[in-house]
Amino acid sequence: MCGITGWVAFQHDLRGEQATLDAMTETMACRGPDDRGTFTTEHAALGHRRLAVIDLPGGRQPMRVDTPEGPVAMVYSGETYNFTELREELAGRGHRFTTSSDTEVVLHAYLEWDLALADRLNGMYAFAIWDGRHEKLVMVRDRMGIKPFYFHETADGVLFGSEPKAILANPGVEPTVTLDGIRELFAFVKTPGHAVWDGMREVEPGTIVTVDRTGSHTRRYWALRTREHTDDRDTTVARVRELLDDIVRRQLVADVPRCVLLSGGLDSSALTSLAARQLDERVRSFAVDFVGQTENFVPDEMRSTPDTPYVHDVAELAGTEHEDIVLSAEQLADPAVRRQVIRARDLPNGMGDMDTSLLLLFTAIRGHSTVALSGESADEVFGGYRQFFDPEARRAATFPWLALLARQRGARGQILNPALVENLRLDEYVRDAYRTSLSKVEALPGESALESRMREICYLHLTHFVRILLDRKDRASMAVGLEVRVPFCDHRLVEYVYGTPWSMKSFDGREKSLLRAATADVLPRSVVDRVKSPYPSTQDPEYARRLQRNVREYLSTDHQVFDIADRNWVREAARAERIDQPVRSGLERMLDIALWLDMYKPVLKLS
């Protein structure tokens, strides 16, 4: 995994812009601590920072092939899990390879199949190819949006990068956020293609963006399609297990130390146990915990049990070399750690202590491993969240997670300045996004109203909600140079399970029925019976008190944060004796916004 960036300018000679290219490239140093490289020609400049995972000496980038018509050069981030099969096929077609890396295979796949190469890839990737033969840039992103990819069109070309910070490092880009960007920041819907920063876009998952002298052109090579599922339950369970065994085998390939992120839930426990069966070496596993949390745990609406006992049950059964990363309230509330999170995300759109703990967890893991397997996205694929089963959330004419959040939080966590709320019209923005997405869901003739609605809910989670979490995990892990792989995002598994009816996804009356049935034989009974529990959050009241202290520092100032946040709300929350979860989340969000404004100094256009 790596960081990529670049600049194409058809009316400008970029050979004199090495200093700017270097500055853009260096913003990606955290994503690629092992090596750097650049490629420059008259109208194209590519930059790369490398995290070496496969073929450590041979996978240097940018990688190029010189042809009689001009050079074809590529910068690539991610992993292609079927590269060995593609390599054999390409070799049979006359291609010759000088490295063992998947990067070289992808480059030759483009030379052989042009844009059709994307249909053949299995993996997580974001890559850009400058095709000097035709003076065009080709940008490709994986189907599920695992790897981030941004671009910013200019008067005579385009800028691109793995993260917005690479594009913002170009002096031609003003860091501007308009009212529309603020809407996206607070809507919690992850509108496809939206990047918050004015003028910037995401390369949408499953698409190819080509830029040439005539402008930019987008082609979709993958989308969720509705197909009738004809397998019976036993066949379906067996197929899910067959796919998981193959996916885990492919995603364990690396020339560096590997590990598994273990939470004690069904998803991560299944991956841990399957990995332990496939590796010849002892699997390393890591879990996050908080000082005193297991001993003093109090069940709440979101979490009925602490993670640690289940984590240890899995580690014992699978025989992993396990370590709990135990964090304190002081670490979680540390403004320096929060700044690291903001720098990793480029935006204040985080999840409070769940973000700071994730960054601290990955920092600790990076001291032992370079690659980690994560259970992320299993809830979206198999139907694991509460909103899949909550009658009100199901019926709501909006994104189901927003309906559930509104009921849980009410107005107590509403931190926005009232004048800004009036201008934002967030309800209208969310409604438009919801209707646009629903219009893309393909119906299956003859299915019941319940099956049709549950297909819509699955679609919304797989095209919106999962991308919020994938982006969070990628940015936090790559901030410390850790490659996190997400087996449940393999498009073969996603397609297959998406096609199953809801009655089969929930055949035992519980969440993730198919996954539980497919992996029960490798799991401890405690995990099989455990109710879904989200990523952990600290219950230590000291954490909230530290948030209040940090917030008070802003109240006596005219900080720009109060153009967005409601000063009166913040004042009341800062002196409250009791802090519930919605108010705590509001304080976290206010601090994130303040730090983001200090660090990025964006030009805000809020009218």
Give the residue numbers marked as catalytic: 2
* Distance (Å, whole) CA 255 – CA 101: 11
Q: How many residues does the chain have?
A: 607
* Distance (Å, whole) CA 551 – CA 548: 5
Sign of the alpha-carbon dihedral angle for 79, 82, 86, 87: positive
Q: Name the β-bridge partners of 139.
A: 128, 209
Residues 6+ positions from 275 with CB-CB distance below 8 Å: 248, 252, 260, 283, 373
Nearest to 516 by CA among 270, 258, 173, 178: 270
Cite the beta strand spans of 408-489 per DSSP E: 483-485
Nearest to 146 by CA among 248, 58, 77: 77
Work out whether strand 35-40 and strand 44-50 pair parallel, antiparallel, or are unpaired: antiparallel
* Distance (Å, whole) CA 205 – CA 222: 8
CA distances from 88 to 57, 63, 77, 108, 514 (A): 21, 20, 22, 12, 34
* Distance (Å, whole) CA 524 – CA 517: 13
Residues 6+ positions from 528 with CB-CB distance below 8 Å: 266, 516, 520
* Distance (Å, whole) CA 302 – CA 402: 15
CA distances from 597 to 176, 601, 602 (A): 11, 5, 6
Residues 6+ positions from 380 with CB-CB distance below 8 Å: 458, 461, 462, 465, 466
Judge contact between 357 and 263, C-beta under 8 A: no
DSSP 524-565: -HHHHHPPP--S-----HHHHHHHHHHHHHHHTS--GGGGTB
CA distances from 495 to 224, 320, 501 (A): 7, 31, 12
**Number of helices (H), then strands (E), in the chain:** 25, 19
Judge contact between 75 and 128, C-beta under 8 A: yes
DSSP 121-150: --EEEEEEEEETTTTEEEEEE-SS--S--E
Nearest to 169 by CA among 4, 14, 23, 18: 23
Sequence letter at residue 370: T
Sign of the alpha-carbon dihedral angle for 302, 308, 309, 314: positive
